[in-house]
Homo-oligomer: A and B are copies of this chain.
Amino acid sequence: MAKGRVTVIDIAQAAGVSKSTVSLVLQGSPLVNEGTRTKVNAVMRELGYVYNRGAANLRQSGAKSKIIGVVVNDLTNGFFAELAVGVDMVVQSAGFVQFLSNTSESLDRQREVIASMREHGISGLILSPSRATEASDLKPLVAAGIPVVVAVRNVPGARVSSIVSDNREGIFAGVQHLASLGHRRIAFLGGFNDTAVFDERLDGYRAAMANCGMALEESLIVPSAPSRAGGADAIGRALAIEEKPTAAVCFNDAVAFGVCDGLRTIGLEPGRDFAVVGFDDVIEAKTAVPALTTISVDPQGMGRRAAQLLLKQINAGKAEAEAIVSSVRLVVRESCGSGAIAKRQSSPIMA
């Protein structure tokens, strides 16, 4: 048993057929006699045969390796872990395996792992690009005809498919929720104003303010680092203006938490004295005090859809670039006050 690998030739010999026939059995071809098939299968089990996929897709060159690559920028972030799980689910049931690598936002690492995956012959790639990824980074892949789906963040200029969450609609819903609670002066806090995601969210803010007939003041828009510290800073600046806001939609949950911190340092209690809406629905959003009202994106679902799209392109043999925006829902908790409303745990939104 321990002598070398069991090959298709060993099976052929033991079953008294040719290697070609064994190969046919392997592929489930209808050309082989039922008797031979069962015989061959029995021998395989008996000898502990392991299919050598490497050899196989050496022959059927370029075709199906049954491997896809998944590269994410931060797997320690629950969001991306969920994304990976979603991908894994559909990929597994399609009989594929996935390479999964983490880049920690490093462009070099990203380049390395993608190169490495190519050497191993991936038939497609799902990429949650690290910051500053450029279209040129993906150029060789698409030139080689390998389908690519970028997720979460877009790569401007790259002719690949993408799936991102509906940033505009999410913030829109957040603002509308605040308006329905009676707020008229609503700020937009946090985020670097030179990113595509920021633009989309700000766009949603503007649209919702207009939609509710509220004044749009530039002083109510205060960018900052998309972090807790940035949020604390932003709320400070927002409350320094003449007509102070009474509520805010935040660039993300981290900013929202920072806003809560900032409010408390000046004696205001978030949820009671000031309403706060986040974005992302990170795990802590549920357990924080007050529990954060936020925009929830379904990362696992995004992963599933990304994988489905990729598999579709792999099977089609042609990668028609396609852009999906993943819908998003408002989750009402306690950070906007109003216990009555907080009772309905969440409300879905049409995309």
Chain A contacts to B: CB under 8 angstroms: 1-2, 4-5, 48, 50-55, 57-58, 61-62, 65-67, 70, 75-76, 78, 81-82, 84-85, 88-89, 92, 95, 97-102, 109, 112-113, 116-121, 140, 143-145, 283-284, 287-289, 300
Q: Known contacts A5-B62, A58-B58; decide if A99 and B97 are in contact (CB<8 Å).
A: yes
Contact of B116 with A97 in the complex, beta carbons under 8 Å: yes
A-B contacts, 26 of them at CB < 8 A, read A1-B143, A4-B61, A48-B140, A48-B143, A52-B119, A52-B121, A54-B58, A54-B65, A58-B58, A66-B116, A66-B120, A75-B81, A76-B81, A78-B78, A78-B283, A81-B81, A88-B100, A88-B101, A92-B109, A92-B112, A97-B113, A97-B116, A98-B100, A98-B101, A99-B100, A284-B287
Contact of A82 with B92 in the complex, beta carbons under 8 Å: no
Q: How far, in whole Å, are A81 and B55 apart by their CA atoms in the complex?
A: 32
How far does the Cβ of A115 sit from chain B's closest Cβ, in whole Å? 8
Contact of A2 with B76 in the complex, beta carbons under 8 Å: no
Q: How far, in whole Å, are A227 and B27 apart by their CA atoms in the complex?
A: 45
How far does the Cβ of A125 sit from chain B's closest Cβ, in whole Å? 13
Q: How many copies does the complex hold?
A: 2
Given contacts A52-B121, A81-B81, 11 further A-B contacts (CB under 8 A): A5-B61, A53-B119, A54-B55, A54-B120, A67-B120, A76-B85, A76-B300, A92-B113, A97-B101, A97-B120, A284-B284
Across-interface contacts of A98 in B (CB, < 8 A): 99-101
Across-interface contacts of A81 in B (CB, < 8 A): 75-76, 78, 81
A284 to chain B: closest residue by CB:
B287
Q: Which of B88, B100, B284 contacts A283 (CB 8 A)?
A: B284
Contact of A76 with B67 in the complex, beta carbons under 8 Å: no
Across-interface contacts of A117 in B (CB, < 8 A): 97
Across-interface contacts of A1 in B (CB, < 8 A): 143
Across-interface contacts of A145 in B (CB, < 8 A): 2
Q: How far, in whole Å, are A145 and B50 apart by their CA atoms in the complex?
A: 13
Across-interface contacts of A76 in B (CB, < 8 A): 78, 81-82, 85, 300
Contact of B101 with A50 in the complex, beta carbons under 8 Å: no
Q: How far, in whole Å, are A145 and B70 apart by their CA atoms in the complex?
A: 28
Q: Known contacts A58-B55, A76-B85; decide if A116 and B143 are in contact (CB<8 Å).
A: no
Across-interface contacts of A48 in B (CB, < 8 A): 140, 143
Q: How far, in whole Å, are A55 and B62 apart by their CA atoms in the complex?
A: 12
How far does the Cβ of A205 sit from chain B's closest Cβ, in whole Å? 28
Q: How far, in whole Å, are A300 and B1 apart by their CA atoms in the complex?
A: 37
Question: 6 closest Cβ contacts across the A-B interface?
Answer: A100-B100, A81-B81, A54-B54, A53-B119, A51-B119, A88-B102
A53 to chain B: closest residue by CB:
B119
How far does the Cβ of A254 sit from chain B's closest Cβ, in whole Å? 13
Q: How far, in whole Å, are A300 and B9 apart by their CA atoms in the complex?
A: 44
Q: How far, in whole Å, are A62 and B92 apart by their CA atoms in the complex?
A: 25
Contact of B58 with A75 in the complex, beta carbons under 8 Å: no
Across-interface contacts of A283 in B (CB, < 8 A): 78, 283-284
Q: How far, in whole Å, are A140 and B88 apart by their CA atoms in the complex?
A: 24
Q: How far, in whole Å, are A75 and B300 apart by their CA atoms in the complex?
A: 11
